[in-house]
Each structure stands twice: as structure tokens, then as C-alpha cells.
Chain A
Amino acid sequence: MAKDVKPTRKNLMAIDDRIDLSERGHGTLEKKRDGLIMEFMDILDKAQDVRGELSDDYEEAQKKINMARAMEGDVAVRGAAAALEEHPEITTEAKNIMGVVVPQIESSRVSKSLDQRGYGVLGTSARIDEAAEAYEDLLESIILAAEVETAMKKMLREIETTKRRVNALEFKLLPELYENKEYIEQKLEEQEREEIFRLKKIKEKKEQEEKQEEQATDEETESDEAVEQATAGGVPGGD
């Protein structure tokens, strides 16, 4: 609050410096926020496409596995699922978008050939193979969606933080600093006016004193002269 600051020139200069710094910071953060939002828009477009593909792949995979279940029975499908030997793995690399580190996910061993799957080819039918293939495609889409959604979440967090900082500077810190500056300036002006008034008063008082002194001196001289005249007039008549 404005009342907490001492109205001194030193504080005024310090506040001026802080206003300068805050305004520069505010401008930079605003640019960062706008840049992040633009980058986010690009990612959002990509995310919408990925989501669409993901839904299609999921529907397709559901159809295929339902068909396999209907034709082969649930036990056969579960048996084949339990026999898988190759497992998909993901590795993450970092990518920097305007200071936000977003992951780039690389996958391996997601799509497998028939002999890599591990369940016996003779004991299972083509329906299970088709279902497995559909789910492998679905996993690829999920990995892509995970990459895009992680990037989105991280960027949203950064946008929110930046926005909060910009708002704090714009609506809290800067108005407070301006208020303090105005308060100090007004106080200093008031002090200056008081000082001038005081000097005037002192000057008037001094002048009055000088005048009184002068008057007193004049009166004294006059009375001295009168005494002198009186004494001079009295001597001749003494004989």
C-alpha cells in the first residue's frame, strides 16, 4: 500500500526503476503468452486429427475383437493374448517449444509380424490375427495421441502460469507501484510547498525584526540628540 513507503527521493527513484523493469517484464511475458497460444493452436489442430483417427481405430479394433470372440470364443482370444512374447516399448526424447519441454515418443515393437506374436499359428484363426493387427494400429495411434496430449497439457500449464504472471503485473504490481509513485510525488510537492511557505514566513519575520531594530535605533538616536541639545542649551545660562 501507498502508506507503507517513505516519501523520499531515493524511494521515488527506486520505484521508477521497478516500474521500468516491471513494464519490460510485462511486455516480454505478454509476447511469450501470445507465442505459446499460437503454438498451442497448431498442436490443437493436430490433436483433433489424432483424436479422430484414434476413435476410428478403436471402433475398428472393437469390431475385430468382437468378431474374433464370436467366432473363436473368449477363452481362445484370452489364451492368444496371454501367449504374447514381444512387448511394445516407448522411449521419450525432449523437444523445446518456447521454453516448454515436450516429449517426442518413439515406439518400438508395436507392429509385429505373425511369427513374432508368439501364439501358435495353427491353433488360432485369422480373426485373432486381424484383431491383434487392429490393436497394434490402435497402439500406434495411442502413442501419437499421448505425445500430442502431453505437449498440450504442458503448454496449457505454461500458458496458465504466464497468464497469471501477466495479470499479476498488470492488475496488482504495476498499479501499486504507480500509486506509490504518485503518493511520493504528492508528498514531496507538499513538502516543497511547506518549505517555501516556511522560508517566506522566516523572511517576513526577519524583515519585521530588522524594521523593529531600525526603528529602535532611530528612536535611540533621536532621544540621544534631544539629550545632547538639552545639555548644550543649559550650560550658557549657568553663570
Chain B
Amino acid sequence: MSQEIAVVGSPEFTTGFRLAGVRRFENVPDAEKDETLDDAVTDVLDDDGVGIVVMHDDDLEYLSRNVRQNVETSVEPVVVTIGSGTGGGGLREQIKRAIGIDLMEEDNE
């Protein structure tokens, strides 16, 4: 089954992706992120037609605890965050928990 790529974020963030052909997007202006970002992300995560969700790293801060946890652990669709370069949000924590060592810190140094 073919799936789509979705983008969630401010209009400035999503425009570039729309230019590359992404048609599933949720525009959430910066001023409304506290109230509406949770719903927008949940909508996209619940959509079976979406395979990859793209978000900005900084937007994770606006999410409620539950939605943030879903974003960090979701595999179908997988959420790719871009912006700060470290990526993976909770991935680092997950690695620390599963392996017992902070491998990402070691690699960054």
C-alpha cells in the first residue's frame, strides 16, 4: 500500500515541503501551537494513509506529554523531526534505557 508524507508545523515550515509536492499538511500558526498542535499531530498520526510525519524539533515543546510520547515512540507512521540536528527526540532516552549507555552523546563528542 502506498502512503504519503505529511508535514505539521507553522506555515513557513510547511511551505517548502508543499513546494516539493507534499499535499498532506497541517498549518499551525506559532500563536496557536499551544492549543491546536496536539490535535493536528494526533489527526496525522491516526491517518492510515500517512507513512512519514515531518515536524520541527522545536514544535515538540508545544505538545502535551501523551502526544509527545506517541510522537517519540510511533513507528507507523514514523515521525522525523528536523531542525536542531540531534534528531530523534526520545530516541536518545530510549537508547540509554535499552543499551544502558548514552551512545549518541559518545558519538557527538
Contacts and interface: CB of A to CB of B under 8 A. Distances in A.
Nearest to A109: B21
A35 interface: no
Interface string B4-31: 1100000100011111111100000000
A221 interface: no
A146 B78 contact: yes
Contacts of A47: 88
A131 B16 contact: yes
Interface string A137-166: 011001101100110111011011001000
Contact of A87 (B23, B73, B107): B23
Interface size class of B (residues with CB under 8 A): 35 or more
Contacts of A149: 78, 80, 87-88, 91
Contacts of A199: none
Interface in A98-136: 105, 108-110, 112, 117, 128, 131-132, 134-136
Name B's interface SS: mixed
A12 interface: no
Highest count of chain A CB atoms <10 Å: which of B51, B97, B103: B51
Contacts of B11: 78
A105 B91 CA distance: 20
A84 B2 contact: no
Contacts of B20: 84, 88, 110, 132, 135-136, 138-139
Contacts of A156: 91, 94-95, 98-99
27 contacts: A40-B99, A44-B103, A44-B107, A51-B87, A77-B15, A81-B19, A82-B18, A90-B2, A91-B2, A92-B3, A92-B51, A105-B51, A105-B52, A131-B16, A131-B19, A135-B16, A136-B21, A139-B21, A139-B22, A143-B52, A149-B80, A149-B91, A153-B78, A156-B95, A156-B99, A160-B94, A160-B97
